[in-house]
Structure 1
Amino acid sequence: MCGIVGIFDMRGEREINRQLLAQMNETQHHRGPDEGGLHTELGVGLGHRRLSIIDLSSGQQPLFNEDGSVVIVYNGEIYNFRELMEELVQCGHQFRTRCDTEVIVHAWEEWGEACVDRFRGMFAFGLWDRRTKTFFLARDRLGIKPLYYAMTLDGMFVFASEMKGVMFHPGVRRELDPLAVEEYFAYGYVPEPRTIYQGVCKLPPGYALALKSGSNDIRPRQYWDVPFKLSEPVSEADAEHELMERLREAVRIRLVAEVPLGAFLSGGVDSSAVVAAMAQELDEPVNTCSIAFTDPAFDESGHAAKVASLYGTRHHVETVENDDYDLIDTLARLYDEPYADSSAIPTYRVCQLAKKRVTVALSGDGGDENLAGYRRYRFTLAEQHLRDKLPAGLRRGVFGTLGRYYPKADWAPRIFRAKTTFESLSRDLVDGYFHNVSLMSDGMRERLFNHGFRRQLQGYSAVEVMRGHATKSPTDDPLSMIQYLDMKTYLPGDILTKVDRASMAHALEVRVPLLDHKLVEWISGLPPSLKLQGGEGKYIFKKALQPHLPRDILYRNKMGFATPLARWFRGPLRQRVRSAVLGPTLAATGIFNHSYLKEMVDQHESGRRDYSAPLWSLLMFEAFLRNVHQGTVADAAPSILQVA
């Protein structure tokens, strides 16, 4: 696993500033502390930081083909590289290494842009072909590995694994994007392809970008999408059997490494399934890592220990105090843009623990999106069932009115907290789902921003992100549709971003077998009823796992990596929240309505309302402004290595 950077002259063949390229590369030292390399020629500069996993003695980057006409920098793992190597040797290609990086180079020579269709794994790479004057970038199908890019005012195309590498270049503008601010306070992250900065983009998952010297054409093309094409009818028994076979294969191909390897084990269904599959594939005990919490309301370590005992793993546990909030500034520097998932704190800690034991860890990420594990899927389908029974006009009139006037009762039992449900029922499926997952509702964001900032938005709403994906969706089934929306937004923008930054901060590689694209394609073709049935998410997955895991692991309530924000903000973080949310940093942006900020702080402190998630998003936005936006990236980036 690595960090990559590059500069490409879109206007011709000007000299590349090698010192600048080296400094851009060093902002990502934490991603690859083992080695670093640079290559410059007229019009092209490539940089690489290496975390050695496979072929430790060779495979240094940038890496070239035989005659030096093709050069690549690459971050990731191609799990089928050995099969591809054999095929390419049969085509006449000669290999100097045993690494997957060289496979990409020869695959480009043999198949051109279609090479990405052959790769099975997680990857982001930049490649220069001097013969065809083509600069080619690609990102893996699900967005496991990140890739940022921007154009400078003088026609230089700049890219990097993390945004700090791009932002180090003095030619990249540092202007906040108002639309990204609106999206952040709706989703808690800035969804692809936008970033918090105008003109800086994320290459979306499953996209590639081919650039030509002398051209200004920058148009990413999609090479893959989740198909959601129903397969031939299959019995539950056959589906269970094939699902386990495919899971084992996805795990098996991710066990190739020349360094210590292990797994995260939370005690949930997905991580337990991965550990069970690993134990069945390996001849030695699996290294497993778990985090325990001092507050039993957030602690899953007992469930993790049960799975570890069942499979005889070498289990490592560390206890984290529930008041572990000293990472706020570290996280702001780590993510480079506002990021409001508070589970980034325990994720950071479990990666920190894992790195003490292993260099590669397998995780269970992706199971909820693939197999409909989130509770919100069940609620959304129940709402849709009711929508289908009532005309749209009636729904908008009745439920819209109820939603506007029904009180917001966070303190009340769930049965009396109907305001959000009423508001959702007045909308269609996509708008309703957006409303259900939003960090702040449309009405809250309307009050959050001041008049001047709302004018800058010109009526733009973050729901447009989901609407845009919905228009391209290959399915109109309600469950499949919202799964598809999550795979385009929440999965890459929140889950995979969180894991990549937290793991790379500790030079740890994380592999995600449940996001193997062949497994994802197959699962997407299963009938929705096999994913969510009788209110049970992951229905077929849990049935398939019954011979391998205890029922109290499979069918207990989902917990997740939670943090006690509400208590923190009324206790040890009370003054910090008040100072940050009502202080000069946010006030100076000219974005916020101060009276509403004060209302949220006062009402949360008093216990009248639970504003913990919105306040956390504001706290992290303020930390981003102080640690990243207001200083130079050059000053901010090295401090990432100062572990709290």
Structure 2
Amino acid sequence: MCGLVGETGSGEQPGVHAALRALAHRGPDDEGCWFDPAGAVTLGVRRLITTDPGKAANQPLISRDGRFVLAFNGYIAGHRRLISGLRDHGQQVESDSDAALFLAVLGNALRVGGDPANALCGFSGQYAFALWDRDTCRLWLGRDPVGIKPLYFSEYGSGNVAFASEIAALRCIVPSAPDRDVSPHYLAHLFVPAPETGFADIRQLRPGELMCWQGGSLESRMIRVAPCHRSVGDNTIAELRQAIRQSVADAMDADREVGTLLSGGVDSGAIAAMASDVARERGQKPPPGFVMQFGNAERDETPRARLLAKHLGMELHIVAAPDRPEEILAHLNDGLRGFGAPFGNPSVVLMQALGAAVSRHVPICLAGDGGDELFGGYPRYRAAAMLRYWHHVPDVIRSLIAGRIADVLPRGMARFVRGGQGRSADAFDHWNDRCALVELGARLSVPADLPGDLCDRMMAFDRRVTLPGNQLAMSDRCGMAYGLEYRVPLLGHEVMAIAKSVSPRVHLRGGGKSLLRAAIAPMMPDGYLSAAKIGFNPPVAEWLVKIGRLLWGSDGRVIAELFGDLPLTVAQRHLYWHRAVRGREPDEALSLWALLVWRVWQMHQLFQEQTPDRDAVINHRKASSVCGTSSRSGVGTAPAA
């Protein structure tokens, strides 16, 4: 993985170098910068070495004929097989890195006038890139179709464009004012959905977006995932098991040590079991596992993680969840620096602490991201499937239950009856909007072309909007903050194709994830898959009190600062605060946490600092770098590929 930065102006090279310093945490192993002789473009890369540690793989890469210059962040599944196939057909691929493969395939397509989106649709994995075509003076910017790797851009000056892997780095080139108009979307999603970012002049590429800049104009198209699943029989379970195993094997194909998260859940358990099996087949010991431990036994999945680790013969590292107010706030601030934008999922604090701990052992870690969205793991999917039956109940009875009676129902049931009052569109909004306070004016950003019935639309919404904007973004920022690359095998194209070929109602049988559970059941210890899901959720109500008082002192001051000029009476403010911190209203607690993060973001140093100091973040990585950092600048000094 890497950090990318670049621009098309002729006078912004100091800004590019400042941006590279701001991205040092993403690439502690090498730095490269290439300047176009005509002054048309500058490309910079900070590299985390995961494949091919040789100097020939350092970036930016230049094609053998000198036409193309590539800055690449990511990995391509099965890259060694694909490189071997190209070489067998007489094509040149000058190194064994993912980037060299990417340059060869994309360059070949552009040389013959092909559509680069079609050339890239067959790549499974995760990536963002910038490619400069010196013959046509075109700059191509792209992001993988799932949205695993980020890329931000800004148009500035007289038709120029700048880009970077993170907002803080991009602001070294293009200062931009905060865009407070994003608050309705932020409060509804707990993040700012693409293409917005929280800054007026900065945008993020949408998942799968491919942009072309030429002569001051930008054009956009989409990279679609190529159809790849061809059923060979009626045993979908066996096909899924094999697809996951192959995706895990591809993710483990690296020239550095690999670990795996082991939360105690189904998704991470599936990855850990497959990784252990692959390692043994290769004559290696299973990769180390990592789990976060909570002091509250009701939140702690360490016992289940220990059970699975023992079953798999895996070494398990236990990471203590942050608990002191000072460390919670420190991790929150670090997370906001990585995002550059408001990010209201409180799990970012846990992921920051986890990333710091995991990176001390391995530079690559497998994770189970995407399992809930692909295989029907969220309760709201089951609610969507049940809605049509609920609508057979007379309106007057549904209204009665959704009123006073809902106040004494369990949280999930109360959300169901309140959201299921009207049309399916109303249920969609109610069950997906994360803001429980109507006075905050939260508003979802929903694509207009979501397919199918309510359950289909909700799963598609999560795959297209929530997964890339929330979990995948969190894994990227919280891992790369410490030079740690998370890889997500469940989002391999073949795995996704099989999951999508099965109807949601099949996935939802038996409480959800029926297909995934069946695929991994032979590899799990007895009773592991039947245990109730705990989830990776911090004690938000407790954290509200701890961070609020740390920032502002007394509860009265906390309430005043938190609600600010919102249209709420004093009585309403106190009511919401006390309901949230008692721990009985988790939805309201989450809404107030998002509001607290918004206030912290408004105060944050990112509003004033153009080049945040990240030296303290990456010091622990320098000693274990594969090679020392070197700086390459000047025309044509990057290696050929």
TM-score bracket, normalised by the shorter chain, equals: 0.7 to 0.9
Query: 1:27 aligns to what?
Result: 22
Greater shift in the superposed pair: 143-152 or 323-332: 323-332
Q: Does 1:414 align with 2:414?
A: no
Query: 1:222 aligns to what?
Result: 222
Aligned partners of 1:226 and 1:524 also within 8 Å: no
Instruction: Give the 3-state SS of the residue equivalent to 1:204 in structure 2.
Output: coil
1:371-403 Cα offsets, whole Å, 9 max, x none, are: 00112211222224324x48xxx96x9867975
Query: 2:639 aligns to what?
Result: none
Aligned partners of 1:28 and 1:49 also within 8 Å: yes
| Mapped partners of 1:490, 1:576: distance in 2 | 30
Instruction: Give the 3-state SS of the residue equivalent to 1:489 in structure 2.
Output: helix
Query: 2:200 aligns to what?
Result: 198
Query: 1:615 aligns to what?
Result: 592
Query: 1:453 aligns to what?
Result: none
One-letter amino acid matched to 2:185: E
Aligned partners of 1:143 and 1:205 also within 8 Å: yes
Q: Does 1:539 align with 2:514?
A: yes
Shift of the 18–182 alpha-carbon distance from structure 1 to 2, 3 Å rule, reads same
Greater shift in the superposed pair: 123-132 or 593-602: 593-602
Query: 2:4 aligns to what?
Result: 4
Query: 2:419 aligns to what?
Result: 424
One-letter amino acid matched to 2:51: I
| Mapped partners of 2:539, 2:496: distance in 1 | 33
Correspondence 1:99-498 to 2 at 5 A: 99-112=97-110, 113=116, 114-169=118-173, 171-178=174-181, 180-212=182-214, 214-216=215-217, 218-224=218-224, 235=234, 238-282=235-279, 283=283, 284-323=285-324, 325-326=328-329, 327-387=331-391, 389=392, 406=404, 409=407, 412-414=408-410, 418=414, 420-441=415-436, 444-445=437-438, 447-448=439-440, 462-463=443-444, 465-466=445-446, 468=447, 471-473=448-450, 475-498=451-474
Greater shift in the superposed pair: 577-586 or 423-432: 577-586
1:105-142 Cα offsets, whole Å, 9 max, x none, are: 22122113132123221100000001122211111121
Shift of the 92–513 alpha-carbon distance from structure 1 to 2, 3 Å rule, reads same
| Mapped partners of 1:289, 1:60: distance in 2 | 30
Instruction: Give the 3-state SS of the residue equivalent to 2:597 in structure 1.
Output: helix
| Cα distance, 1:49 vs structure 2 | 0.4
Aligned partners of 1:203 and 1:220 also within 8 Å: no
Greater shift in the superposed pair: 102-111 or 623-632: 623-632
Greater shift in the superposed pair: 475-484 or 597-606: 597-606
Gaps of 5+ in 2: 111-115, 621-641
| Cα distance, 1:573 vs structure 2 | 4.8
1:507-528 Cα offsets, whole Å, 9 max, x none, are: 1111110000221012101133
| Cα distance, 1:19 vs structure 2 | 1.4
| Cα distance, 1:559 vs structure 2 | 1.2
| Mapped partners of 2:107, 2:246: distance in 1 | 29
Instruction: Give the 3-state SS of the residue equivalent to 2:328 in structure 1.
Output: coil
Q: Does 1:44 align with 2:41?
A: yes
| Mapped partners of 1:624, 1:415: distance in 2 | 30
| Cα distance, 1:317 vs structure 2 | 1.5
| Cα distance, 1:94 vs structure 2 | 2.5
| Cα distance, 1:618 vs structure 2 | 1.4
Shift of the 516–508 alpha-carbon distance from structure 1 to 2, 3 Å rule, reads same
Match 2:603 to one of 600, 619, 626: 626
Shift of the 247–417 alpha-carbon distance from structure 1 to 2, 3 Å rule, reads closer
Query: 1:529 aligns to what?
Result: 505
| Cα distance, 1:482 vs structure 2 | 1.3
| Cα distance, 1:262 vs structure 2 | 1.3
| Cα distance, 1:602 vs structure 2 | 4.3
Shift of the 625–247 alpha-carbon distance from structure 1 to 2, 3 Å rule, reads same
| Cα distance, 1:605 vs structure 2 | 4.7
Instruction: Give the 3-state SS of the residue equivalent to 2:192 in structure 1.
Output: coil
1:132-189 Cα offsets, whole Å, 9 max, x none, are: 22211111121111111111143221111111112222x44314141x2110111111
Aligned partners of 1:628 and 1:636 also within 8 Å: no
| Cα distance, 1:552 vs structure 2 | 2.6
Aligned partners of 1:585 and 1:626 also within 8 Å: no
| Cα distance, 1:477 vs structure 2 | 3.7
| Mapped partners of 2:99, 2:108: distance in 1 | 15
Aligned partners of 2:24 and 2:614 also within 8 Å: no
1:574-612 Cα offsets, whole Å, 9 max, x none, are: 46474885456974xx66757454542244356785531
Query: 2:580 aligns to what?
Result: 604
Shift of the 155–586 alpha-carbon distance from structure 1 to 2, 3 Å rule, reads farther
One-letter amino acid matched to 1:362: L
Shift of the 39–544 alpha-carbon distance from structure 1 to 2, 3 Å rule, reads same
| Cα distance, 1:285 vs structure 2 | 2.6
Query: 2:62 aligns to what?
Result: 64
Aligned partners of 1:333 and 1:636 also within 8 Å: no
Q: TM-score scaled to structure 2, two decimals?
A: 0.86
Match 1:519 to one of 463, 478, 495: 495
| Mapped partners of 1:81, 1:433: distance in 2 | 40
Aligned partners of 1:208 and 1:221 also within 8 Å: yes
Instruction: Give the 3-state SS of the residue equivalent to 1:145 in structure 2.
Output: coil
Instruction: Give the 3-state SS of the residue equivalent to 1:554 in structure 2.
Output: coil
Query: 1:500 aligns to what?
Result: 476
Shift of the 32–384 alpha-carbon distance from structure 1 to 2, 3 Å rule, reads farther
Aligned partners of 1:347 and 1:502 also within 8 Å: yes
Aligned partners of 1:328 and 1:623 also within 8 Å: no
| Cα distance, 1:17 vs structure 2 | 2.2
Gaps of 5+ in 1: 10-14, 450-460
| Mapped partners of 2:475, 2:583: distance in 1 | 33
Aligned partners of 2:29 and 2:49 also within 8 Å: yes
Q: TM-score scaled to structure 1, two decimals?
A: 0.86
Q: Does 1:568 align with 2:568?
A: no
Greater shift in the superposed pair: 308-317 or 609-618: 609-618
Instruction: Give the 3-state SS of the residue equivalent to 1:272 in structure 2.
Output: helix
| Mapped partners of 2:148, 2:524: distance in 1 | 27
One-letter amino acid matched to 1:539: S
Aligned partners of 1:336 and 1:628 also within 8 Å: no
One-letter amino acid matched to 1:489: V
Shift of the 70–185 alpha-carbon distance from structure 1 to 2, 3 Å rule, reads same
Shift of the 230–385 alpha-carbon distance from structure 1 to 2, 3 Å rule, reads farther
| Mapped partners of 1:259, 1:230: distance in 2 | 30
Q: Point out which structure has higher relative CO (alpha carbons under 8 A, 6+ apart).
A: 2
One-letter amino acid matched to 2:108: E
